[in-house]
Structure formats: structure tokens, C-alpha cells
Amino acid sequence: MQVGIAGIVGRIGTLTLCECLSRNIPVVCGTDLPTVKVWGASGKLLEMSAIEGLDYKINNEDPAHGRLPWSSRKKNNDTLEITINGKTYCVKVIGTDSPEKAKWQQEGVEFVEECTGMCLDKTKVSEEDLKKNRWRYPASVHYNNGARIVFVSAPSNKPDASLVLGINHKNYEKFKNEKGCLFFDNGSCTTKAVAFPIAVLLNEGYVITSPVYVVTTHADTGKELRDLIEGKYNPNTASIREHSSGAFKALAALFNTQDNIQVPGCDAKALRVPVVNGSMADICLTLCHNLSAKDVNAMFAKASGDYRYATGIYLWTNQTPLNSNFISRREGLFAQIGYNPSSVVSAENTKVYGDRVHIHSWYNNEGAPPENQARMTQQILSNAA
């Protein structure tokens, strides 16, 4: 089954492309706007065609991730030759001003990585959402153009399932619908950071007796991230800003069924801070047993090497991470043990007060979701033939 990427020149789309190719996932094409904007080396936005934008991003320094170990060159007017791990792949780049014009069937694509951030509904976008963003569109435009499976890189509305590597990645078959047209999402970066510690406690037999409360200190995204990289100073960009977080919705879907409520409620807030990457979730919950911080840390240390949690994505450390640890592949705390962890539990900051547990889970909010997307895509494709 061949793969296409919608939003291939976006920050998540480009990383998803390269993570997929590094695992020999057959990405044959991608779509984006005919004219895109990418960050230049000086931090200024440069305007160019879709194929030129993707070529530039692969071959130049990224403000949040440094120089990535990939290269590309134009084969012709609409195709790039991308070299990763010594192998070269041909990827067609299609500039289109509407997802309805993405002819997936013509390109032989049945699996679409939906990385535009605009496709969050399976069949219909609500009028309320359209008022907020007129560029929103349903996944049905992909199905109408030949796709069988749509895998959204962000939390979506009423997906067939949220698939999170290391949590429920083996349940793909269970979630298939009768027609074979599937609509999944990859959850959010915060969903994964919180889900791992919860899964470890549940799998060790502990019962969570109170709603989980999460406050995440989150790197800037969207316009604020753009202002930060471009060096623009304004009170909004330079401030800590409180946002709502949709992570709690996805958590309920991951752990709760009609007959089995494992997480009795969840609430989350996000504090956006002016850094380009790297975030931390402060998780507070109550267990049915009294434990020590040593007991809790021992569980996480054991789990970080457990195949059930997709080794290399969920980690434990007795050091205190910094957000800068998530910016470079070649330097920092995770240079040798993994660049893109979805959750790094910091032992030093684990606190226990009777049955009340506080956990700090650090995560690569921009680099980890594409790696999850690619590894989860492998899982889906191995079962979808």
C-alpha cells in the first residue's frame, strides 16, 4: 500500500516524510499549497514553490532541530530525490490550493498521512468550526480521491480510534470498520507524554481513584513560534500564556471503554512559553495504594526498556532534562538514547504524598509525533495488506 502526505512542506509533514522514508515506508508523493513559506537560515520566512520549499527544508538548518541527516535534489519539475541512510527515494510534490484536487488514486496512494492540521473530521465539518477556520475540510475529500486510510497527525473529532504507539498500537485490527475506509489519529504530543506514565501504573495493577490533572509547560507553536524564530518581540510572544489542552479527551478514549473505566476523569491546562521546542507535563493523580517515590521510579525505569512501550520512545532518566535537550540530534541528554522521546520521566521530580503521586514527563513536542506517526504507520500497513 503506497503512502501520500497531505501538508508535506509543513513542519510536521516534512518530519513525517523523512521518518517514514527512514523506515522504508513507501511514500510516493505529497501535497501542499502551490506557494509555501519556509524559514531561511536568518530566521526570515522565504516564499517559494512547494517542491522548492521541501528541498530547501531538507537541505538546510532548521531553527528547532538543527541540520537533519538527510539530503535531497530535484529530479525534475515535480519530483525530489531524497537520500536517507544511504538510500534514495523519489517523492512527487504536488502543489494544490485545495485538498479536493489531490488525486491520490492517480498516484497510486491508498494511505494518506494527514498533516495539514485542517482535516479533523471524518465526514462533515461543523458550522461552528468553519466559522473559526474556513480552510477546515473533512477526510471524505481524501476518500473521494482514492484513499482507503486517513491517519491524522493531530487529535481529531470522533475518529475510529486514536492510535498511540506503546499504548494501544496492537489494536489496529479491532478498530477496522466494515467498509475498509479508516479514520485514525495520532493523538497529541501531550496525550503521549501523559499516557505513558498512566499506562505503566495501570499495567502494574494499580487503580487510579481520582481524576488526573495535568499542567503542561509547552513550547510555542503556530504564530507565536513563527514570531519567536523571526526574532519579533511583542508582549504576546514574550509572555507565558495559559491555554486549554485537548489531551484529556484523547486520554479518555485511550483508557476507558463503556465497561471498563480506568481513568475516572481528566483535566489539562497548557502554559505556552517562548521556547522553540521541548515541553513538560506535570501529572497529578491518586492511587488506591500508598507508594514511595522510589517504588514509582523503579516501575518507570523497568518500563523504559519494556517492548510493550515501544522501546526508544518512552524513557526514564535520573537526570533533570532541559527543553534544549530536544533541539539537536547530536547534542544533549538524549543524543545517544534517542532523539525523539514522547515521554521522559524525570526521577528527581517524582513526588509521592501518601496516595497522591506527582510525575514530570518531558517530551519532544515537535519531533516525537512524526516518529510516532511513522512507526504507527508501519504497524497499520503490516496489517492492512
Mean pLDDT for the chain overall: 85
Give the three-class secondary structure for 314.
strand
pLDDT tens for each residue of 187-236: 889 999 999 999 999 988 999 999 999 999 998 876 666 666 666 656 56
Domain boundaries, the chain: 2-186+369-384, 190-365
The mean pLDDT value for 70-80 works out to: 94
- What pTM value is reported for the model? 0.89
Buried b (16+ CB within 10 A) or exposed e, 188-202: bbbbbbbbbbbbbbe
Domain 2-186+369-384, CATH among 3.40.50.300, 2.60.40.10, 3.40.50.720, 1.10.1760.20: 3.40.50.720
pLDDT for position 313: 80
Tens digits of per-residue pLDDT, 4-59?
999 999 989 999 999 999 999 999 999 999 999 888 767 678 899 999 999 999 99
Query: Mean of the pLDDT values across residues 258-284?
Result: 85
**Is domain 190-365 classified as CATH 3.30.360.10?**
yes
Per-residue pLDDT, 181:
64
The span from the CA of 321 to the CA of 334, in Å, is 9
Least confident of 5-9, 267-271, 297-301, 309-313: 309-313
